[in-house]
Amino acid sequence: MASLAVNLGLSDREAIPDALYRSIIGLDANDQTTFQSAWHKDATFVFDGTPPTEGLDAILATTFQFIGAGLDTTHMVSNVRVDVKDGANTAKMTAHALAQHYRKGEGRNPKAPRFLTGNMYWIDAAKDESSGVWKMTKFEMKVIWCEGDGSIVGL
């Protein structure tokens, strides 16, 4: 399965949420290259009030390894709103997401236990100075509700 190019010639208003989409596609497809393309090297990830994960290397070692490499997932993102001024190199986004989680290798088993979450995202993004690609600098996530087997994600 081939990844799409990072720079698709999008307008800034399209390219900003594309950073979020690259991150989610990278997780769900266990595609570290696509996932990594979405994040600034000094990014911060905050999961539901836990201590922040600082830097892309730490995000790869924790979030990507646990979710992307460790589970069968599908994240459906909607209600994306972008706040960016014309010509700016920073932006903010909010979004909702439904995230379905299965143990690795069990996602296609209709009888397998699963864990579904409804989430809100608050994201800061910046245009990378060297590549011109929009990347996330801060990703804050809050689980609003959940159902199913929480042990799948370690609860």
> Which CATH number goes with the domain that contains 59?
3.10.450.50
**Domain-embedded: residue 120:** yes
Question: Residue 101: its pLDDT value, please?
Answer: 98
Domain that holds residue 127: 12-153
- pLDDT tier at 9, thresholds 50, 70, 90: confident
Distance in angstroms (rounded) separating the CA atoms of residues 1 and 29:
9
| Residues in CB range of 153: below 8 A, 6 or more apart | 71, 101, 115
pLDDT at 110 over 90: yes
- pLDDT tier at 1, thresholds 50, 70, 90: low
| Tally of structural domains, the chain | 1
